[in-house]
Structure 1
Amino acid sequence: MATFRWTTDPLPEGITVRQVYGFCFDASGRVLLREDEGRYGLPGRKPEAGEDARAVLERECLEESQITLDSLLYLGYQEVTEDGRQPFAQLRYAARIGDFLPRQPDPDTGRTYGRLITPINKAPALLDWGIDGLLQSAAAVHAAYRLGLDPAAVREDTWRN
């Protein structure tokens, strides 16, 4: 059984990063969720050899959701421990979306994922990550303000593409 612990601390030396995901905000302050057969997630995935966290997120956002990113801010990481083994990290970032590009299949899976743009207050329920998801979303809101966005002022509803 796996245990999860969210922290906004810097990543400690020696912990392996297995995943990098981003809360990606559009210009109005809404967040993008990747939709896959009725399940939602943040864009991102695992690093390839020699790739730093920012490069992972930029590549995966382009491949999965066909978006480019402008500014990125580190939020923290989720420490995951499985069956008493060495813990690993799942990094989280907040980013401002630069451009929405035409939809195309993910080169890794061949699938074209849906894009759901929604107010951040709807994200925790859609992600279904429990308390850690709420804490991560709260950290993303604070980062959005630092990115020059105001997620609390969002008046537009959800958008699907």
Structure 2
Amino acid sequence: MPKFSWHTRAVPEGLPVRQVYGFLFVPDGRVLIRVDGRKHSLPGGRPEPGEVEYADILRRETLEEVTVDIDDPHYLGYQCVDDGISPYAQVRMAALITTAHPAAPDPDSGRTYRRLLVHPGKAGDLLSWGETGYLQATAAAEAAVTVLGLPGDGLPDEGYL
């Protein structure tokens, strides 16, 4: 069974980055959760050949999966996944959504994902990633206030984008 650990420093040299995911916020401070049936996840995915900039990967993936444009993403850290064979990193970033386009099918999967907006405090529960998920959601909520300048209190209830 893989082991997961959360780190707020840069990804170490030699540890491959296999995925980049984002906590994407709307101006009122809620975060977007991608919904596929009963599964909740963050928008993001794998780098394509030649892609090395985390921000570029996240921008492409969020447009493809949840049809939103984002501002400059802020690096939060990475989750190390140690499968006992070949450890790798999953980068996490936070960004402000600048434009929400009508929902459309993901060109890779053909699925149209729903976009749920929730209080950042609920993200850890919905993602069901255990302790590392809560640490990531907390880091994202802090960055939303301190880096993105979003409100931290008095957020509206959840709803769909």
User: What's the TM-score, normalizing by structure 1?
Assistant: 0.96
Q: After the TM superposition, which residues 2-41 of structure 1 pair with which residues of structure 2 at under 5 Å, given as runs?
A: 2-41=2-41
**What is the RMSD computed on CA atoms of the aligned residues?**
0.9
Question: What one-letter code is carried by the residue in structure 1 that aligns with 2:56?
Answer: A
Alpha-carbon separation, structure 1, partners of 2:137 and 2:105: 27
Any stretches of 5+ residues in structure 2 without a counterpart? none
Question: What one-letter code is carried by the residue in structure 1 that aligns with 2:115?
Answer: R
Contact 1:30 1:151 (8 Å CA) reproduced? no
Specify the alignment match of 1:81 in structure 2: 82
Divergent runs of 4+, >3 A: none
Specify the alignment match of 1:139 in structure 2: 139
Q: Secondary structure at the match of 2:18?
A: strand
Question: What one-letter code is carried by the residue in structure 1 that aligns with 2:17?
Answer: V
- % of aligned pairs identical? 48
Question: What one-letter code is carried by the residue in structure 2 that aligns with 1:62?
Answer: L
**CA apart distance, 1:71:** 2.6
Contact 1:119 1:151 (8 Å CA) reproduced? no
Q: Secondary structure at the match of 2:71?
A: strand
Contact 1:71 1:147 (8 Å CA) reproduced? no
Alpha-carbon separation, structure 2, partners of 1:123 and 1:142: 13
Specify the alignment match of 1:59 in structure 2: 60
Q: After the TM superposition, which residues 76-155 of structure 1 pair with which residues of structure 2 at under 5 Å, given as runs?
A: 76-82=77-83, 84-145=84-145, 146-154=147-155
Specify the alignment match of 1:42 in structure 2: 42
Paired residue total: 159
